[in-house]
């Protein structure tokens, strides 16, 4: 009897274990497309019956199939890819400002100024021709203003976007710390906490898309999350970051100190959306803005110098055509000078009062400015300098696009490695499903057989 009872017990345990395994398989199948889900494997073990052999099966629990090394690589690759994409998106907007294909860009406006000087030399005493100089100068100033203002606006928008990103990082840090606490509590209660661990991994992955993130487990078994080289989550404690501006307007990232204030960690910011914003805003856009302002300043100053040397139809001299701000903000500040605005007669086409009103020497000298190196420290003509600027913007964007492709490929590879290790294979799960189903059916059969044997035995004994 003891043997038959044991058989029934073994069959019962098998039913329980296979049912558990089927449940795990079902869980895997239903979460096959859930982001961050890590496949589970039911841990079936032989039931220990002490020194006796022939024990049944028992479900000892389940195992999350993870690989810390691959996870860390995925965080890193996500950060780099996210940074490259963020930078590229920003530069796409910047590039559009310098796409002169439609003939409506700054280069075309500058050509309009040249054409107006050339036409002025042909007919210096014509009011319409003089008004056209003002109109062309105004168009150039407006285009420079639009370009300069758009770039400034982009920098302001990116500052806000950076702030939003820092807020998200802080939010994620809080969430990760909270999950750590929940995981610790669940583990203490004997739960496996796999779902919570999945959520924590997903949060960290999400964080790595925002800022370069590194994780490790400390000696106490706590998960430590570091961003931009500083610890932001240490077990159940979450720190925070804050954003400020340097004197030159560049972004300054600070790790908040518990006693107030913060230590600067900007130099360690290398990845994530925030890293991409930082590079695009404080390097790429800053460089282009500097180049643009210097170009506008050089051109406008050269025109002013020549214009001031000439004489207007009203006999006035020493007047600038443009009001130019400092070389750092020339594009935004450029305006047609109030001295000549609405006064076509003050356009200095002649070189001296004696040649009025038909003198055109200064108009020719103004148009000749476009043939001489006046920009980039007197080494490039206006059109060469503008071509350099367009080329520079194009090169920067092209470089960003290549970075996107490179980092996407790396991320794709690492994600594939992660999926291969931790992802759900429906094929595999279907095989498991069949396997555990068959085992369950076999266990049921065992109960049937044990029952038949029991009936047979009882029938024989009762006779």
Partner 1 sequence: MRVTEQMRYDGVSTNLSQLSTRQAKAALEAQTGLHVNLPSDDPIAASELARLSASQSQITARRGSINAVRGDAELAESSLQQASDLLATAKDLAMQGANGDLGADERSSLALQVKDLHDHLVAVGNTKGTAGYLFGGSATDAQPFDTTGTFTGNDESHVVDIGNSTPTSVGASGAKAFTVAGGRDVFGDLDALYTALSTNDQAGVAATLGHLDSSRAQITNAQAAVGMTINKLDASDSILGALDLQASKRTEEVGSADPAKAYANLTQLNNALQQSISVSKTVLDLAAFKQF
- Please identify, among the stretches 187-195, 215-223, 241-249, 425-433, the one whose residues bind partner 1 according to the rule CB under 8 A: 425-433
Sole binder of partner 1 in the list 5, 420, 438, 441 (CB under 8 A)? 420
Q: Which is nearer to partner 1, 217 or 384 (CB)?
A: 384
- Please identify, among the stretches 174-182, 250-258, 293-301, 419-427, the one whose residues bind partner 1 according to the rule CB under 8 A: 419-427
d(CA 84, CA 313): 56
| DSSP conformation class of 311 | B
Q: Is 424 in the site for partner 1 (CB under 8 A)?
A: yes
Q: Is 410 in the site for partner 1 (CB under 8 A)?
A: no
Chain centroid to Cα 296, Å, comes to 31
37-58 exposure pattern, b = at least 16 Cβ within 10 A, e = fewer: bbbbebbbeebeeeeeeebbbb
Q: Which is nearer to partner 1, 222 or 399 (CB)?
A: 399
Q: Is 401 in the site for partner 1 (CB under 8 A)?
A: yes
Q: Is 33 in the site for partner 1 (CB under 8 A)?
A: yes
Q: Is 187 in the site for partner 1 (CB under 8 A)?
A: no
d(CA 73, CA 150): 37
Nearest Cα to Cα of residue 204 among 243, 235, 229, 169: 169
Sole binder of partner 1 in the list 430, 442, 457, 458 (CB under 8 A)? 430
Sole binder of partner 1 in the list 156, 338, 416, 442 (CB under 8 A)? 416
For residue 40, what are the β-bridge partners? 64
Q: Which is nearer to partner 1, 185 or 406 (CB)?
A: 406
Q: Is 356 in the site for partner 1 (CB under 8 A)?
A: yes
Sole binder of partner 1 in the list 412, 441, 455, 456 (CB under 8 A)? 412
Number of residues in contact with partner 1 under rule CB under 8 A: 72
Q: Which is nearer to partner 1, 251 or 404 (CB)?
A: 404
d(CA 357, CA 413): 74
d(CA 231, CA 183): 20
Q: 461 to each of 39, 324, 453, 457, how far by Cα in Å?
A: 52, 116, 12, 6
Min dist. Cβ of residue 443 to partner 1 (A): 21
d(CA 178, CA 166): 18
Binding mask 59-78 for partner 1 (x = CB under 8 A): --------------------
Whether residue 230 has a cis bond before it, omega within 30° of 0: no
Q: 268 φ, ψ to 5°?
A: -100, 0
d(CA 174, CA 233): 8
Residues 202-261 that bind partner 1 (CB under 8 A): none
Min dist. Cβ of residue 431 to partner 1 (A): 8
H helices of 236-325, in order, are: 272-279, 286-309
Residues 87-146 that bind partner 1 (CB under 8 A): 95-96, 98-101, 103, 107-108, 110-112, 114-115, 117-119, 121-126
């Amino acid at each position: 009897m003891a043997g038959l009872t044991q058989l029934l017990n073994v069959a019962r345990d098998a039913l329980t274990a296979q049912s558990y395994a089927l449940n795990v398989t079902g869980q895997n199948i239903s979460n096959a497309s859930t982001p961050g889900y890590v496949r589970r494997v039911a841990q079936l073990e032989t039931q220990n019956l002490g020194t006796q052999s022939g024990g049944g099966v028992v479900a000892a629990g389940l195992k999350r199939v993870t690989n810390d090394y691959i996870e860390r690589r995925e965080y890193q690759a996500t950060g780099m890819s996210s940074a490259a994409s963020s930078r590229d998106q920003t530069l796409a907007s910047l590039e559009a400002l310098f796409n002169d294909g439609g003939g409506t860009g700054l280069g075309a406006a500058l050509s309009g100024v040249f054409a107006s000087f050339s036409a002025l030399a042909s007919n210096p005493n014509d009011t319409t021709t003089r008004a056209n100089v003002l109109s062309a100068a105004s168009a150039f100033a407006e285009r420079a203003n639009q370009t300069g203002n758009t770039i400034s606006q982009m920098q302001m928008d990116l500052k806000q976007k950076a702030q939003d990103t820092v807020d998200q990082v802080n939010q994620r840090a809080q969430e990760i710390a909270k999950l750590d606490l929940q995981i610790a509590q669940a583990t203490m209660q004997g739960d496996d906490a796999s779902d919570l661990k999945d959520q924590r991994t997903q949060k960290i992955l999400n964080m790595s898309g925002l800022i370069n993130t590194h994780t490790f487990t400390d000696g106490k078994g706590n998960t430590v999350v570091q961003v931009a080289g500083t610890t932001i989550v240490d077990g159940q404690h979450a720190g925070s970051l804050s954003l400020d501006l340097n004197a030159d307007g560049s972004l300054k990232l600070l790790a908040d100190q518990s006693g107030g204030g913060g230590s600067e960690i900007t130099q360690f910011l290398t990845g994530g959306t925030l890293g991409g914003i930082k590079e695009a805003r404080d390097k790429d856009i800053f460089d282009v803005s500097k180049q643009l302002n210097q170009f506008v300043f050089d051109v406008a100053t050269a025109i002013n110098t020549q214009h001031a040397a000439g004489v207007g139809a009203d006999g006035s001299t020493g007047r600038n055509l443009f009001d130019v701000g400092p070389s750092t903000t020339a594009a935004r500040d450029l305006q047609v000078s109030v001295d000549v605005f609405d006064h076509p007669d003050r356009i200095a086409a002649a070189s001296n009062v004696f040649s009025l009103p038909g003198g055109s020497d200064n108009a020719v000298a103004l148009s000749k400015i476009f043939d001489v190196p006046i920009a980039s420290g007197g080494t490039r003509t206006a059109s060469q300098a503008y071509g350099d600027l367009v080329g520079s913007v194009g090169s920067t964007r092209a470089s960003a696009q290549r970075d996107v492709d490179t980092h996407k490929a790396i991320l794709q590879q690492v994600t594939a490695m992660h999926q291969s290790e931790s992802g759900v294979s429906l094929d595999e799960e279907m095989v498991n499903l069949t396997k555990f189903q068959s085992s369950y059916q076999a266990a049921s059969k065992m109960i049937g057989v044990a029952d038949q044997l029991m009936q047979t035995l009882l029938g024989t004994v009762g006779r």
